[in-house]
Amino acid sequence: MRRMDQSSDADPFTYARAAAAELQSLAGGPLDAAVVLGSGWGDALDVIGSGGPDGGGKDVLFADLPGFPAPTVGGHGGMVRLTTVGQRRVALFAGRVHLYEGHGADRVVHGVRSAVLAGASTVLLTNAAGSINPANGVGAAVLVRDHLNLTGTSPLIGPTPPEPHSVRFVDLTEAYSARLRSLAKEVEPGLGEGVYAALHGPNYETPAEIAMLRTLGADLVGMSTALETIAARHLGAEVGAISLVTNLAAGLGDTPLDHTEVLAAGGDAGERMGRLLRGVLERL
Ligand code: HPA
């Protein structure tokens, strides 16, 4: 069961349970927390936890775990680092799967779902985002207070999930934990909060779409996070999410949007973001 079947009757929870068992055995026991490092957050990895045996860590390629998509041609498919922060076992996902790569919602949430089934009761999601709110300039880290899921899909579409997760009408009133936002503010006082609009992508938005999102109450715009939050909440995990503003949203800056600039802005902030995430993990 190395690959999630493309057919519609494949049960994503079966794959997630298989991946969870493998994550647990590699980590040496149940996980406490999972962190997903989004575009440009890769430099945060070593700051949070070691991958070497000296630091008690292990790096595993997605390709070697059940249910993850095969790496795309020319690219590397991402990996998960199983490590410890203090006494806690943590899975650090470096790289994620996006809808815009052509994957369904089940694949997009597979890593998070597997980690929660492996015991992670806290999930910290990170992303690169465009800023719609002038209060947050490039380089700002913003705590996600809520989201607008505008992807048109949900990871809970499909057959009834297996017991004990069969109730899929998940309450999202407090999708993003106020407690985790407070912990983040202990580490970095002055962090702002905002609403994240998740779009399908991969094209960036038009200025008219950004004007619409602003009217709808969005502060941030990106192409990830919301589906993973829904999947984690469905399984009962506490979710925190942090956006790193890599650009002003379309029409709000002077220059056209450029993916390499988005990645560069993320890279510049990697170490600071790593310290922030580590600080939250230490305070759980
Ligand atoms: N729009 C959508 N996704 C993004 C952006 C953006 O401006 N920046 C980084 N990810």
Gap between the Cα atoms of 75 and 97, Å rounded:
12
Q: Which amino acid is at 133?
A: N
| 176 in catalytic set | no
Atom of ligand 1 nearest to the CA of 257: 7
Residue among 114, 127, 136, 224 flagged as catalytic: 224
Atom of ligand 1 nearest to the CA of 247: 8
Gap between the Cα atoms of 48 and 32, Å rounded:
14
Q: What is the pLDDT of residues 217-259, one digit of tens each?
A: 999 999 999 999 999 999 999 999 999 999 999 999 888 887 7
Residue among 140, 247, 249, 265 flagged as catalytic: 247
Pocket of ligand 1 (CB under 6 A): 128-130, 204-205, 221-223, 246-247, 249, 257, 262
Q: What is the DSSP letter of 173?
A: T
Is the preceding peptide bond at 71 cis, omega within 30 degrees of 0?
Answer: no
Q: What's the CA dihedral at 229, 234, 238, 240 to 10 degrees?
A: 10
**Residue 6: which pLDDT band, with cuts at 50, 70 and 90?**
very low
Centroid of ligand 1 to alpha carbon of 88 (angstroms): 32
CA distances from 84 to 26, 61, 92, 245 (A): 12, 18, 10, 28
Strand-pair partners of 146: 195
Which residue's CA is the nearest one to ligand 1's atom 6?
A: 130
Q: What is the pLDDT of residue 8?
A: 43
Cβ contacts of 34 within 8 Å, gap of 6 or more? 90, 91, 92, 93, 111, 112, 115, 116, 120, 122, 123, 124
**Residue 72: which pLDDT band, with cuts at 50, 70 and 90?**
low
Average pLDDT rounded to a whole number, residues 152-160: 94
| 7 in catalytic set | no
Q: What is the pLDDT of residues 124-140, one digit of tens each?
A: 999 999 999 999 999 99
Strand-pair partners of 247: 130
| 18 in catalytic set | no
DSSP E strand stretches across the chain: 33-37, 58-61, 79-85, 88-94, 122-131, 141-149, 192-198, 220-222, 238-248
123-154 b/e with 16+ CB inside 10 Å = b? bbbbbbbbbbbeebebebbbbbbbbbbbbebb
Q: What is the pLDDT of residues 31-70, one digit of tens each?
A: 999 999 987 777 888 899 877 766 668 999 988 999 988 7
The answer to whether 62 and 95 are in contact (CB under 8 A) is yes
Strand-pair partners of 129: 245
Among 78-87, 107-116, 255-264, which stretch is predicted with the lowest mean pLDDT? 255-264
